[in-house]
Structure 1
Amino acid sequence: MEALTRPLRVALAASLVGLNTIVHCSVLFVVALLKFLLGFGPMGRAWSRLLVLLAESWISCNNVVFAMASRTRWEVQGLEGLSYERSYLVLANHQSWVDIPVLQKVFNRRIPFLRFFLKSQLIWVPLLGLAWWALDFPFMKRYSRERLERSPELRGTDIAATRKACAKFRDMPVSVMNFVEGTRFTDRKHARGGGGYTHLLRPKSGGVAFVLDAMGDALHAMLDVTIRYPLGRPTLVDLLAGRVRRIQVHVQERSIPPEMLGGDYENDPEYRARFQGWINGLWAEKDARLEALCQADKGADVAR
């Protein structure tokens, strides 16, 4: 019977998420237009706050739908002491597209609305570009090594442009999200370049260095997030179908080492090596944490 009703549950849940998105985006685009026309000085911050409230409302409604569709057991650690009034760099491993609604559920209204850096070209994406702009997602302009070799006068302009885009965060709390592996974990990717980690892909330090270079002194702390799905990496369809029975999330607040701020990742080999060593150390701890969770599950199975 469950196999027969599951497609209907998936269709209903997807329809509710879609309806929720249409309703919230319709209001968001109207407010975004008002922000564009009238968002000067203090009024701009007021419009931005209203837009964030709409985004948080959209997440809350999605969470209700996911809760109705699934019987997930959430095992979350480390949320004590988090503040909506502080700014965070959020670093996480990337297992599945489900990671995004997981992070939104765990952090919604506990810390400032999650944002991530976007390439400047994405502002022209229909509808989404406007939504990202309205929600103050920072757009970064990066040049390839080849372009910089052809036009050395562009060197440093990407960081300067990004710092300017992030200037608004000096007056408001922000959470900047980064999936450090740069891609979702798969067994094939792990076999091709796991970097010696058992449960993770090799971390890519450049993106984190770029964020800290652009706005490191505006961030109060880093949130080191470990996500695990004990019954296997799920898809979004699995989430809507109620097949994600357990989700484990471990959050550890860490200070950002002062020596990691203000360096030149691209042009200073010593700083780059030091920065990579720091990120690799975080990833080694995360890998050990995931292994400990696996062993705990095996021990519980044996006890039963």
Structure 2
Amino acid sequence: MAFKHTSVLLEETVNGLAIKPDGIYVDATLGGGGHAFEVCKQLSSKGSFIGIDQDAAAIEAASVRLLDFGERVTIIRSNYCDMKPRLHEIGIDKVDGIILDLGVSSYQLDTAERGFSYRADAPLDMRMDQRQKMTARDIVNDYSEADLYRVIRDYGEDRFAKNIAKHIVMERGKGPIETTGQLNEVISRAIPMKIQKTSGHPSKRTFQAIRIELNHELEVLKETLDTMIDLLNPGGRLCIITFHSLEDRIVKSAFRKNEDPCICPKNFPVCVCGNVSKGRVITKKPILPGEEELEFNSRSKSAKLRIFERA
């Protein structure tokens, strides 16, 4: 299956970078190279672009898509949490812009055997990086009921988390849960039918929760945001697209803290803590998809773009 992914908030993100033609830009979640292509089009022969992704299929697709830009482009297979050492390896200490698109790609969702989607029956996988040994099957079958409850509650924000965890443990007592279809059935039995009729697909939140847990998505985001801001040259920008409230809260909080890191009591006449602002938040409110984008790409519905500029 060809790697297909419609880049969300494409124009808004690329414009948000305020690209300098001779600058150095990073797409830390390269995907199929949609954002990357538009960035590279604006670079001069002196400009550089680095694409990072942990998914082999994304690397392959983006390599083909960006071929015409020649030596301006470097593609690295890695998790963006290792961005700083990976950039150092190729002699880069600072960059002029970074894109982070945190969504699961359409390709990952539509390739049934990757096990990301609750809409097709497939092995429970959900690995963003297929070099990783652990899969979603391991979480579903090996986590304790208490841990399953915690994951579904915290990362899926599902009010039926306790009941879903209980049903999973009951079901796997009869034999391992191997497929997305089996898990769907278990979740469906754990959520009242009247709720299912009004709240979308019953598995949506649990699948999100398991995927986040398996790929350490929120920990990686939390641990890497400050590093990415530190990697920016003065005037450089970090553009982040989130797809659910958990990610968005982390980004909003980190941006605010980097803009105003002062921890002095509010009644102090002057700052004595010594914490210095690293820049400013460009987006006081997140940028959302327009009506046209929502019409042709339903997956953009929950997307939010936030932008930070380095001082």
> Given the two structures, how large is their TM-score scaled by the length of structure 1?
0.23
Structure with a larger share of its residues in helix: 1
Structure number with the bigger relative contact order (C-alpha 8 A, sep ≥ 6) is 1
> Given the two structures, how large is their TM-score scaled by the length of structure 2?
0.23
